[in-house]
Amino acid sequence: MAEVPGAVFAAGGLVGGYGVARWTRQRPLGGAVLAVAGAAAARQWHRRAGGPAAGALTAAYAAAFAGSHPLAKKVGAWPAVFSVAGAVALASWAVADRRG
């Protein structure tokens, strides 16, 4: 069975975390989704590209989450979340997933 690419976990964590937080009105629950998906993505990145790449991609994941907040003030919440999710997924593919 093929492994799920880190890009799927990362993009899914950003979109899913926001969606869960918004629809349940429980920000900690959305944060838990974000954290679990981020950990799964980091595991895949480490497996496919090694520790330094996994560290850089994990930092990009956290920066995307943080950066989505000011971006949302300019373009709206969902467009911001989809934008940063796409950026992290692209970085994941470029650095780690295409090797798998």
List pLDDT tens digits, range 65-79: 999 999 999 999 999
Neighbouring residues of 85: CB distance < 8 A, sequence distance ≥ 6: 10, 11, 14, 15, 64
* Secondary element (H or E) of residue 88: helix 77-95
The predicted pLDDT at position 99 comes to 72
The predicted pLDDT at position 2 comes to 67
pLDDT in tens, 41-96: 999 999 999 999 999 999 999 999 999 999 999 999 999 999 999 999 999 999 99
Whether pTM exceeds 0.95:
no
